[in-house]
Structure formats: structure tokens, C-alpha cells
Amino acid sequence: MATISNWKELIRNFMALTFVQEEPNIDTISLEQSVAPYSEVIQQPTHCKIKDDSNLYIPNDVYTEINKLLQWPMNVKNKIRKKCKKKNYTHNFDTTYTIELLKIEEKIFTISKMIEIIIIKSFEFSCICKKNKIRYCFFCKQSVLNNLQRFYEHIRSFNHVQNLKKTILDHECLDITIKFMEETNKYWKCHECEILLLKYHKSVHQRDKNKNYNKIFLKCYEESKNQRNHLMKEFDNYWYNIQTYACVPCKVQFKFKLNFLNHIHISHNTEQDIIYDFCIPCAILWIVKKDKCCYSFSIHCGNIMHKFLVNSSDFVIGELPSRAKELLEHVEETTENLFLLSEAILKSDLTKEKLLKQLTSLLSSVFPKLKIYPFGSRITGLAFASSDIDVFIDCEGDAYEYNECDKFPSLTYYMDIIKKCLQNDKDIWDVQEILKKTKVPIIRLRHRQTGLQCDISFSNGLSVENTKLIKSINEACPSCRKLILFVKKWLSCCSLPGLNCITNYALTWLVIFYLQIQKFLPSINTLIKRKNKSRRISGWETGVDHEILDVVVNKSFIQLLREFFTFYGHFNYRDYVICPLIGDTVEKKNFIDIFTLPEAMDLYIEYIQKSVNNESFRIDSSICIQDPYELSHNLTKAVAPITLRAFKQYCKLSANILDNIL
């Protein structure tokens, strides 16, 4: 039995529950109330205010999509009103994290003491019966299906919490409570072993001399303890599960965590009578008054949409996809094939050469000083046959080291001219998309003769320098190249959920960083110091020593792969930033107090101090990987929590598979 030394503290935690005089009639919530929740709602990109809070706990976008799918009847008056004009979501990243917001984030993702006590005590006073299909709750004298989600919903119900509260508040010491129940309550029996099963009360099974009873008792006890520990472990990491946020007192829902944190900071930070609750199947966290917490979860569980999401397991990460499993069963063979394929493309890439030749021929007549720089996987030795080609075009031959491409006066002009040239040569080029307002303006096209996809960028030479660096690392460390190729293929087999997956470029730096941590590869800062000759592009240092000594990896490839999966399967993404520049992690809070950052990041500090308009490194994303050159750029800032959770889980599962092979 998990002991709680301070019973007065325990009672204080439960005193909040006594404010509720009467249980709301959850069972009589009407179908219309459950199905058509958002009466008079204005859907907004960041958050929306809701007049009817019975369905506040379900993410709006999820509710809307599933509502359409199921074609549930909706009252015309209760339809969601949407603004016609689409808004750019980038304005949600304009707010900078502060120490106060970081403290609030830590608070909202720490399970409340009250909920923790409910879980611990409820598992202590329940038993598994009838061939593990039923769990009997002694507090409520009620049988519940032996399913973690079902039992958790039961122990968070209003009636159960009231029964639990009454037991604790009516007796100063739980030992007295146990004795009282043992003497008067015939229901405290295990349905399977027919003995009083007051778990953890040693005198019960010590008095009984029947060894079979004791054996069954211990089995029951261990199973219950394992389930409780599993549940608590899940709840210790629910930061990885939450995708939407809600404030019940204000009836407002938030899509972005940063907006929610700001709302709490402004409206609720000084309040003592609030509690944070959450539902993992629905991927939502909400704030509620303490006097309503005991039935807020019950209301949520009574929601039809919650039941749908529990049954559909939309936000549950399942088993590793079969294609990824098959890949892991043939590691050596797959790695060799991928390496040979990429080597063939690297050494004799006729399709790339043909594309570049025709592109240069087309544009040089318009821009005599034109310079074209290919970059990306086809240069680094990480390409597959279907890989696209990235090209940086310097129209006047002077933009390679240009600072702040967004202020480049002729950028739009150049893009328009090039677009027209390409469209006039339709037999060779298929212009598919023009992206002028992105961080890096791009023209996306297809080369008809080779079928290659091509992205043309116009900003500066940072991407080209990144490519040179990765190529140098791959040449010095073939194991690094092989690991990137395999993990890249593995990731494509995993089909991670979420709109924005981990890019191949970000994945490359995950592999390099892991090898830096293992001391096989030097930090990028070490290469900068070794070169000792500055070369700045857009204000960032790119002067590195490309003559990296050949790296000897004294581990088998399969062992290296297993340790890669183990490392990222257990990495603390919540608190740390992955920084290849220094070959180590940095705490997120250091990016708030920038003067605590390592000396190697002095250029970043200078960049932040230079202008209030300069974007700081985003630490509010689920996974943070700092670009080794452009230190303000988080390579994975768009990756959703569910994507990271799947990546983390699949890394663990993959490590387990390789453990069995080794």
C-alpha cells in the first residue's frame, strides 16, 4: 500500500470535493446537447468561445469532422459559423515564451494531487475477478469491465469520488477504515477467491493458512499494482498526448498551447481554486474550478464524441506498421541495397545534370550573371531514385551571402520573371506552385523529360552550405550515411500521423546529433574552431573545416541502429533542445534567458538583441532541433504532438525488435 504520511494533507485535498452539494444529472443530458454542442459558436484559428460547455472538452476540428462523417442530426440554429476568409496561422507563433509561461506549462502538465490520490486509493480497494474480465470496486460495491479506460472513467465518476471522499473524511486513519469495513461490510470479498481482499492489509492473508488463497491474493494484488503503475506512467508523460486546450470557467477552447498559457497567465494565474484535468483518448486538457472538478470529467465521459474517440482510438498510437517491422527484420540487406542505390545516384546522376543544364540554358539568357547551386539529398549521397532536386538560384550572382532575404527588393520581381520563362517553355517545365510568403520563397515545378520534382529557392546560400557540411560528414563517416538512409526509409514506412511530419533534413540532424552524443562525430562548433576562418551568410557562421578525419565506429550497424532508436525513444523532448552546433542538449529555459546559453551561441544572442523583429528560436513546439547554422531556426517547429508521440513510441518498439535480433 502506498502510504501517505500526512493524513491532514490528504483530507485537505479532498475537502475541495465537499463544496459540491449535488450531482448534476449526467445521464439525462439530451442527445441534442451532446450532438449539437456549439450553438452560437464562432470558429477561430486560435481559440473560440463556447456558450454551451457540455462539449467544451472535445477539440472543435475533431468534433466538426466526425460530425460530418457520422451525419448526425444537427439543429440548423446550432450550426458552426465560420469566417469566410482564411487566416494565416503563423501569427500564433508571434508570442515569445517567458519564464512565467514555462512555469505554468510545468504546472498544467503535472497531474494534480487530488487525481493522483483518487487513482492510488481506487486501485488499492478494487480486485480483479472472474478470469480477469471484471474488476470489482469496493467503494461503490460495483463491478466494472477490467479495462483500464473503463475503470479510470469509473473512478473519476462523481459517485465514486463521493464514496471515496466519504471513506477518507469519515475516518482519521485508513487503518480504522479498513478494520471497520472488515467487520461490517460483507461486500469486501473477492469474487474469485472468496476471502476478504483488503489488499495491503497484511493481517488478512497472514491469518489465512490456505496457501492457495494467498497465491490467488498475490496474483490479484500484482495485477492490480501493474495496471495502476502503467496508468500512472502514462499520466507522467501526458505532455506528449495533448493537442487541444480549454478553459471551462471562461468557456474558451484553444488550438495552440501558447495561447492557452497566455490566457491562464492573464486570467487565472493568481487563482488558487482551479485544477487542470485531461483526457488522453480525446487529446485535450482543460482548466476547471475545484468545486466542479469531481463531475467535470463525468460530463466529458458522457459525451457521445468522447465515446466515439475511445472506441475508434484515433489518438492512440498502435503497433509498429508491418512494413517497418519487415524492414527491421532485414537490416543488413536493406542497408546495403539503400547504400548502393544512393551511391549510384551520387556518382552518375544524369537526370540531375540534364535538368540543371536545361534550367541554366533557359535562364542565363535573361540573367547573364546567373549562378545555380544544387543542394539537398542528391548532393549529400542520401537520395533515392524518386528524390527531388533542390536548387538555389542567384540571379545577379551576388545573393549567396545576402542577409535577410525578406528585405531583398527584387525577390518578387525575379520570381515573376522566372515563372514566366518556365511557363513559356511548357514542353519541358510544369510549374506547379509559387510560394512567395514562406520563410524561404520557392517555385515548385516538374521537369517533364526526367519526371524529377524540383524546388527553386531564392533566399541565400545557407542551404547550400548545409549540404556541403552533411556531405563532408557522410564522406568521413559511412556509418552515418547508412544510418540516415535506413532511418529515412524506416520513417517512410511508419506513416506518422499529423499534417507536418519530421522532414528528411531534420532526420539527418537527429542521426548526426546521436553520433555526436556517442562521441563518434565532432560538434559543428569544433569544426568552426578548427577552420578558424569566418564566413557568414545572412549573419550566421558557416566557416567550418570540411576536411573531417575518417571516423571509426567500433559498433556493428544493427547495434548502432538499436541504440539510435533507444536514445530517441526515451529522449526528454519536453525540457530539452537538440543542438548539433555544440553536440549536446540545451534546456529550453536557457532560450528564454539567452545570457545563460553556451558561448558557442553568441551569434544567436547578438541576433536577438539586434532587432525586436527577429524571430526567436521556437521552444513551444513538441520537438526542438536547432539548425547548426541558422541558430534561430527550429527544424521541427511545425511537428504536432501526436506525430512526436508516434515517433517516440515507434522508436521504442523498433529498439525492442532489434533487441530480440541481437
* 601: enclosing H helix or E strand: none
For the residues 167-192, what does the mean pLDDT come to? 45
Q: CA-to-CA distance for 586 and 468, rounded, in angstroms?
A: 25
pLDDT score of 626 more than 50: yes
Residue that the C-alpha cell 494533507 belongs to: 9
- State whether residue 613 is helix, strand or coil: coil
Phi (first) and psi of residue 43, to 5 degrees: -75, 125
Say whether 485 sits in a helix, a strand or coil.
helix
pLDDT in tens, 376-419: 999 999 998 889 999 999 988 888 887 654 445 578 888 999 99
Name the pLDDT band for 501 (thresholds 50, 70, 90): confident
Side-chain half-sphere exposure of 611, counting CA atoms within 13 A: 6
What's the pLDDT at 269?
86
pLDDT the model gives residue 411: 81
pLDDT at 113: 84
Highest mean pLDDT, choosing among 93-97, 497-501, 640-644 = 640-644
Residue closest to 18 by CA, chosen among 127, 158, 146 = 158
Q: Rounded CA gap, 103 and 510, in Å? A: 28
**Is pLDDT of 5 > 60?**
no
> Which among 230, 256, 278 is positioned nearest to 107, based on CA atoms?
278
Rounded distance, CA 237 to CA 571, Å?
A: 12
- The pLDDT tens digits for 336-371 are 999 999 999 988 778 889 999 999 999 999 999 999
| Average pLDDT value for residue range 487-514 | 92
Least confident of 159-163, 404-408, 466-470: 404-408
pTM for the whole structure: 0.81
- pLDDT value at 207 more than 70: no
Is the pLDDT higher at 554 or at 312?
554
**Residue 518: what pLDDT?**
96
Output the average pLDDT for the chain. 80
| Alpha carbon distances (Å) from 209 to 55, 200, 216, 270, 397 | 53, 17, 13, 57, 91
Q: What would the grid cell of residue 260 be?
A: 492557452
